[in-house]
Amino acid sequence: MTETLDRQFPCAQCGADLRFSAETGHLVCDYCGHENIIDLDHTPIQELDFRKGLEEQLSSEQIEITQVTQCTTCGAQVQFERDIHSDHCPFCDSVLITDTGAHRHFKPKGILPFAVTQKDAQDALARWLGSRWFAPSGLKKYARAGQDISGIYTPYWTFDAETESTYSGQRGDVYYVERYVTVMTDKGPRRQLQRVPKIRWTPVRGRVRRFFDDVLVIASKALPKRVSDALEPWDLHALVPYTESYLAGFRAEGYTIDLRDGFAAARGEMDLQIRRDIRFDIGGDQQRVQTVDTDFDAVTFKHVLLPLWIAAYRYRKKTYRFVINGRSGRVYGERPYSAFKIAAAVLIGAIVMAVILMVLYTSGALDTVVIGNGQFVLPDIYYPNTRGY
């Protein structure tokens, strides 16, 4: 069992704390400027047996213990250094008081190091915030002031599986019949010959196979699925073997979705692809899939960490998240709307329209017509080939 309660990354030159630089890909000392090279591990990332993982039959080398604090608001489990006693949750901005809680979990097998710098992330976030229409003034000030943004590694599962699925269903082939129908023309109803499509359904059975590689599932409940989906795609081919050096200067979140539930989510993604394969295998113009029976074999998994830049903004007691993919710079944001600004825009628009109509009316370009209990302003139309209007 690996103890990781005290992560320290001392500079080889002066002994000060190091941080990982997304710009250089190495550890940098902010005190003396010395760059500490990370030794790259070219060993292939190991996949773990899924059944053994469920039964906790993996070796102690695959398990680690980290000090975590669980946010009581959003449920995130965030790792802190031992000398930090209070902070804010990067996911919801709630105040956290660190404790001595320990999280026993599968050790990460792979990691995607940050490739987007904090400065670039702040600039991207400022552009996004500044471009929001009808945003509250506080949000605009937050953008101009240089918002606080945190780098955090978020846990994911990846799953591999060999699948074989037997199915039953129906194949639909379109054919046409000719019949006379009555249609309306300028000269009245007429009988017309038309080709009418029909479908011939044929019972089918079959089998499809597919190998799934690195089906990605977020292992955190702190971010809604719509947020994690919006940040995709991830360049998983760039995963490197996990080493703690990449965590220098960043936080890491412990997973809150366990291995079993993670595979259930992954299987949902696999089932969708299998059904697409079945429809393709059935062929024809339309398909009906009635039964599917899938065998999963050689299922493996790994726990990986992916980089996110996160900022949180509170408006009227509600938290809004701004999340940036730490590899591609892709931005996802939740934003509040200012009811005052929307109402003001509607009012100004109504006033401008009223002024335009008034000017047109006083110039004689509009007539006022009363219909029933309402009053409607209609334009005058001039026909040059008639007498007057």
- Strand locations in 17-149 (E): 18-20, 27-29, 35-36, 48-49, 63-70, 77-79, 86-88, 95-97, 102-106, 110-111
What is the spatial distance between Cα 237 and Cα 254, in angstroms, rounded to a whole number?
Answer: 23
CA torsion angle 292 296 300 305 (round to 10): 10
Pair (278, 374) in one structural domain: no
CB atoms < 10 A from the CB of 50, how many? 20
In a domain, 319, yes or no: yes
Residues 218 and 121 in one domain: yes
State the pLDDT at residue 5.
39
384 in a domain, yes or no? no
Q: Are 98 and 86 spatial neighbours (Cβ–Cβ below 8 Å)? A: yes
Domain stop point among 179, 204, 229:
204
- Please write the tens of the pLDDT for every residue from 219-229: 998 888 888 89
Q: Which tokens hold the place of 107?
A: 């050790």
Give me the pLDDT at residue 49, please: 93
Give the burial string for 97-129 (b: 16+ CB within 10 Å, else e).
ebeeeebebbbbbbbbbbbbbbeebbebbbebb
Cα separation, 143 vs 201, in Å, equals 60
Same domain, 187 and 217: no
In this predicted structure, what is the pLDDT of residue 383? 44
List C-alpha distances in Å: 309 to 25, 74, 277. Answer: 17, 17, 37
Distance CA 344, CA 350 (A): 10
Nearest Cα neighbor of 182 from 173, 174, 191 is 191
Give me the residues paired with residue 257 across strands: none
pLDDT at residue number 35: 84
Residue 89 covered by a domain: no
Strands 2-3 and 63-70: parallel
Rounded-to-integer distance, Cα 230 and Cα 325, Å: 9
Q: How many domains does one find in the chain?
A: 3
Name the domain boundary from 150, 176, 204. Answer: 204
User: In terms of domains, do 140 and 232 share one?
Assistant: yes
Answer yes or no: do 291 and 321 share one domain.
yes
| 132 and 280 together in one domain | yes
Structural domain includes residue 70: no
Question: What pLDDT does 251 receive?
Answer: 85
Same domain, 250 and 297: yes
Domain that includes residue 365, residue range: 341-379
Q: Is the domain of 287 the same as that of 300?
A: yes
Is residue 73 assigned to a domain? no
pLDDT tens for the 389 residues of the chain, in order: 333 334 567 777 787 788 888 888 888 888 888 888 887 777 889 899 999 988 877 777 787 776 666 666 666 666 655 444 446 666 665 655 555 556 677 889 999 999 999 889 888 877 777 665 655 665 656 555 555 788 999 999 999 999 999 999 999 999 999 888 888 888 888 888 888 899 999 999 999 999 999 999 999 988 888 888 999 999 999 999 998 889 888 888 888 899 999 999 999 999 999 999 999 999 999 999 999 999 999 999 999 999 999 887 766 667 778 899 999 999 887 765 555 556 666 777 778 877 777 777 676 655 554 444 555 444 444 445 544 43
User: In terms of domains, do 119 and 190 share one?
Assistant: no
Q: Tell me if 27 is assigned to some domain.
A: yes
Instruction: Fill in the DSSP letter of residue 107.
Output: P
Q: Are strands 35-36 and 27-29 parallel, antiparallel or unpaired?
A: antiparallel
- Looking at the fold, whether 146 and 291 belong to one and the same domain comes out as yes
Give the pLDDT score at 140. 57
What pLDDT is recorded for position 14?
80
Per the prediction, the chain carries an average pLDDT of 79
Same domain, 294 and 173: no
Asked if omega into 233 is within 30° of 0 (cis), the reply is yes
**193 with 267, same domain?**
no
Sign of CA dihedral 263, 268, 272, 278: positive
Asked if residue 3 is part of any domain, the answer here is: no
Indicate the SS3 state at residue 138: helix
Q: For residue 193, what pLDDT is reported? A: 85
pLDDT digits (tens, 9 = 90+) for 59-86: 777 877 766 666 666 666 666 554 444 4
Last residue of a domain, one of 204, 223, 258: 204
Question: Is 191 among the domain residues?
Answer: yes
What gap in Å lies between CA 336 and CA 314, rounded to an integer?
Answer: 9
Interatomic CA distance for residues 34 and 18, integer angstroms:
9
